[in-house]
Structure 1
Amino acid sequence: MEFRVDRTEFADAVGRAARALPARTPVPVLGGLLLEAAEGRLTVSGFDFEAAVRVAVDAEVGADGRVLVPGRRLADVCRVLPDGPVSCGLEASRFTVEADGTRFGLSTLPLAEYPALPVPPAPYGTVDAAAFAAAVGQVAVAAGRDDTLPVLTGVQLRLEGAEMTLSASDRYRYAVRRLAWRPETGDAEGAVEVLLPARRLLDVARVSARGGDLRVGLEAGGGSAGFEGGGTRTVLRLLDGRLPGYGTLFAMAGAAVAEADCEPLREAVRRVAVVAEANSPVRLDFSADGSVLVRAGYGDDVAAQSVPATLTGAAETTVAFSPAYLLDALTSFDTPRVRLELLGAGQRALLHAVAGDSSPTAHQHLLMSVRQLV
């Protein structure tokens, strides 16, 4: 095996594939990256049974071959290589990496013990990669981190007609984002729902954010989902179960409606939250005079800031939220204005994206307010 490749492309491919490597594993070969060189292409693959990532780049291939190299060690080497072309080869059981007079030798792992990579599922349709990446980032913030409740650590992907819906919830908040997508001919009828691990899907989003189209594949029977674009192919193992429905939760009959510029409100919350003790809320006092007073703290340690806001459906209303959850929600919106439907203290609050003629329901984020007020 022998190939020559640009250092930047090589380091990028290794870095992306290495994101699939497990942090700890009792199976040593799963800590390896599989390098395959053939026909002017180098592919770098990482796999841990939950996700498989395969990155392809152009390369000058002198001799075809395959090798399994310790992944994190190779990633460390790539980070310190000088710019320019990189020459790699296999000498007996040693993998060599050389660039501008710098030479590394790495041990190899037993290729025969490496499990077969999963077959990518059949294409189901395509979506704009940048729009998909933004949508994943907006909803994944609401996914749970508790691995004892795996369903709540996922992002639910629903495909129906020409619309894709992403949603996530950790029981205390619920984020939903809708966007257009293009199903394959004949696959547009009926709705399909799958649950994907949020952390893995965020990795897919980071890679796909470069633009172009992202092809989405689904396995018949619901075992895996695939994403391919920008020279990277990822296959994710699906989570079992599904998120609870949000239709009833998002029904906000009788709610007061407030609207404010997103950035000033977010910055006000960020500022006053510095005096909030652990588990203490940030309070929002909306009034009909065209402002909301954002404040936090107790006793002498307090902070407050007034921000312009409109309120309809009530003369005044007060709600309080966890500062971290409220900041996560406000940060997830990329529109100039945000709309809040408020049922009152200790009840649900629904945030909508508002931007020009875009649908106010394209991005929604539900939060539970707290009863305890500042």
Structure 2
Amino acid sequence: MKFRVERDVLADAVAWAARSLPVRPSVPVLAGLLIQASDEGLVLSTFDYETSARATLTDAQVSDEGQALVSGRLLADICRSLPAKPVEMVLEGPRVSLTCGSARFSLQTMPVEDYPSLPAMPAATGTVPSDQFAHAVAQAVTAAGRDDMLPVLTGVRIEIEGSSISLLATDRFRLSHRELDWSPRTPDETVAALVPAKVLGDTAKSLTAGGEVTIALSASGSGEGIIGFEGVGPGGVRRTTTRLLDGEFPKVRNLFPSEHLTTAKVDKADLIDSVKRVALVAERNTAVQLAFTDGQLTLDAGSGEEAQASESIHAEIDGDHLVTGFNPQFLLDGLTAIDESVVELAFTQASKPVVMSGAAGESGQDPAFRYLLMPRRLLS
């Protein structure tokens, strides 16, 4: 194996492929990055039996075909530190030699025959603009759980129905719902999948170099339980697959109420700044109080002999006055995920969840992103 490739292209592809490597692999070879050089170009792959990544570099100049398995994290660290010159890699017996300018590294290889075969990419289900998909996923994963003891809640449920995709995530205390359009291969197809939120977020963010992302979902047959994503990265095509999460995602759609008794429209930047300031005196796991009255939203935190804070901002209130409270970080997470400059907070009553979204404005269209947040008990 012998090839030559530009440093920036190689470093980016190696970092992308190595990003999902396990920190503590069950067997040593799963910490490896597989390098395959052929007349079609260079392919860099990783796989830990759950998530696979494959980057193809068509501009690599391959002199000798071959393959080698080396430590993925070490190679990523090395490539990141190399000077801005072409990189040459050569397989020399049990070691790989890497040369870039006057820098030279020699890496020990691992047995390629012990490395698992990457899963095949399922048949394409459809395509979606890459920037829109990345943004929608970033909004949806805001509410995904991080407790591995509840694995179902660490995923994002993707629901595909015709030309629409719904992304849903919840950690029991909040719920995110994002809708976006896409181009399905089968117009009337209806399918759902529960995808690990971290993998989905990292993948969507990393595939924005090209115009579109292809989503490939296998719902039956030998590839059951796998979803794949394909897009364009620097130097060529990038492809990743991951196993779907097992278990039944909670039926959360009915948590969004059909009507509201109180709504408030507030400038998003003002509210974010106020929450950050007032929350400075909020003790751990205590709520920031929100009081909605005529034309005003008052935020309070702290109690008793401890530090206290209070601040009022303008708000357009429609409906009954109410007082409620929320986890300040969860509140900020939802506000930050909303695109619009004016947010709408909709309530049925103080003890029930708030539904946060961008203000509809003159168009009157339903918001593409909604964030539901459970209230917290206020200290007396």
Q: TM-score, normalised to structure 2's length?
A: 0.94
The answer to whether the 8 Å contact 1:32/1:68 transfers is yes
- By how many angstroms is 1:226 displaced? 0.5
Q: Residue 336 and residue 360 in structure 1: after superposition, are their counterparts in 2 closer, same or farther (change >3 A)?
A: farther
The answer to whether the 8 Å contact 1:137/1:202 transfers is yes
More displaced 10-residue stretch of structure 1: 293-302 or 40-49: 293-302
- By how many angstroms is 1:37 displaced? 1.4
Q: 2:46 — aligned with what?
A: 46
> C-alpha root-mean-square deviation of aligned residues, in Å?
1.5
Q: 2:373 — aligned with what?
A: 367
1:270 aligns with 2:276: yes
Residue identity in the other structure for 1:276? A
1:119 aligns with 2:120: yes
Q: Distance in 1 between matches of 2:169 and 2:38?
A: 41
Residue identity in the other structure for 1:170? D
Q: Residue 241 and residue 255 in structure 1: after superposition, are their counterparts in 2 closer, same or farther (change >3 A)?
A: farther
Summarize the alignment of residues 16-165 of structure 1 with structure 2, pairs less than 5 Å apart: 16-39=16-39, 41-57=41-57, 58-165=59-166
Residue identity in the other structure for 1:275? V
Alignment deviations for residues 315-361 of structure 1 (CA, whole Å, 9 cap, x no partner): x2211000111111111112212111113333111111236537333
The answer to whether the 8 Å contact 2:289/2:378 transfers is no
Q: 1:326 — aligned with what?
A: 331
Q: Distance in 1 between matches of 2:272 and 2:260?
A: 26
Q: Residue 50 and residue 358 in structure 1: after superposition, are their counterparts in 2 closer, same or farther (change >3 A)?
A: farther
Q: Distance in 1 between matches of 2:314 and 2:210?
A: 36
Q: Distance in 2 between matches of 1:362 and 1:241?
A: 27
Residue identity in the other structure for 2:101? D
The answer to whether the 8 Å contact 1:90/1:96 transfers is yes
Alignment deviations for residues 295-333 of structure 1 (CA, whole Å, 9 cap, x no partner): 21123511222222111022x221100011111111111
Q: Distance in 2 between matches of 1:94 and 1:319?
A: 64
Aligned partner (choices 237, 242, 249) of residue 236 of structure 1? 242
Q: Distance in 2 between matches of 1:165 and 1:241?
A: 18
The answer to whether the 8 Å contact 1:353/1:360 transfers is no
Alignment deviations for residues 103-137 of structure 1 (CA, whole Å, 9 cap, x no partner): 00000010000000000000010001111111111
Q: Residue 358 and residue 199 in structure 1: after superposition, are their counterparts in 2 closer, same or farther (change >3 A)?
A: farther
Q: Residue 355 and residue 9 in structure 1: after superposition, are their counterparts in 2 closer, same or farther (change >3 A)?
A: farther
Q: Distance in 2 between matches of 1:217 and 1:32?
A: 26
Residue identity in the other structure for 1:109? M
Q: Residue 25 and residue 156 in structure 1: after superposition, are their counterparts in 2 closer, same or farther (change >3 A)?
A: same
Q: Distance in 2 between matches of 1:359 and 1:6?
A: 48
1:193 aligns with 2:195: no
1:298 counterpart SS class: coil
Q: Distance in 1 between matches of 2:162 and 2:287?
A: 41
Q: Distance in 1 between matches of 2:264 and 2:216?
A: 40
Residue identity in the other structure for 1:77? I
Q: 1:225 — aligned with what?
A: 227
Summarize the alignment of residues 333-352 of structure 1 with structure 2, pairs less than 5 Å apart: 333-352=338-357
Residue identity in the other structure for 1:12? D
Q: Distance in 1 between matches of 2:117 and 2:254?
A: 44
Q: Percent identity?
A: 43
Q: Distance in 2 between matches of 1:96 and 1:110?
A: 16
Structure 1: tracts of 5 or more residues without a match: none
1:195 counterpart SS class: strand
The answer to whether the 8 Å contact 1:320/1:373 transfers is no
Q: 2:266 — aligned with what?
A: 260
Alignment deviations for residues 13-33 of structure 1 (CA, whole Å, 9 cap, x no partner): 010100121110121100000
Q: 1:293 — aligned with what?
A: 298
Q: Distance in 2 between matches of 1:358 and 1:102?
A: 61
1:248 counterpart SS class: helix
Structure 2: tracts of 5 or more residues without a match: none
2:194 counterpart SS class: strand
1:73 counterpart SS class: helix
Alignment deviations for residues 2-23 of structure 1 (CA, whole Å, 9 cap, x no partner): 1111111111101010012111
More displaced 10-residue stretch of structure 1: 33-42 or 122-131: 33-42
Q: What is the aligned length? A: 370
The answer to whether the 8 Å contact 1:281/1:323 transfers is yes
Q: Distance in 2 between matches of 1:60 and 1:190?
A: 42
Aligned partner (choices 303, 308, 313) of residue 307 of structure 1? 313
Q: Distance in 2 between matches of 1:211 and 1:323?
A: 37
More displaced 10-residue stretch of structure 1: 261-270 or 352-361: 352-361
Q: TM-score, normalised to structure 1's length?
A: 0.95
Alignment deviations for residues 217-247 of structure 1 (CA, whole Å, 9 cap, x no partner): 0113242001000121010100112322223
Q: Distance in 1 between matches of 2:212 and 2:142?
A: 24
Q: Distance in 2 between matches of 1:155 and 1:54?
A: 23
The answer to whether the 8 Å contact 1:156/1:195 transfers is yes
More displaced 10-residue stretch of structure 1: 330-339 or 159-168: 330-339
Alignment deviations for residues 87-115 of structure 1 (CA, whole Å, 9 cap, x no partner): 11101111111111100000001000000
Q: Distance in 1 between matches of 2:379 and 2:209?
A: 43
Residue identity in the other structure for 1:216? I
Residue identity in the other structure for 2:368? A
- By how many angstroms is 1:48 displaced? 0.7
1:244 counterpart SS class: coil
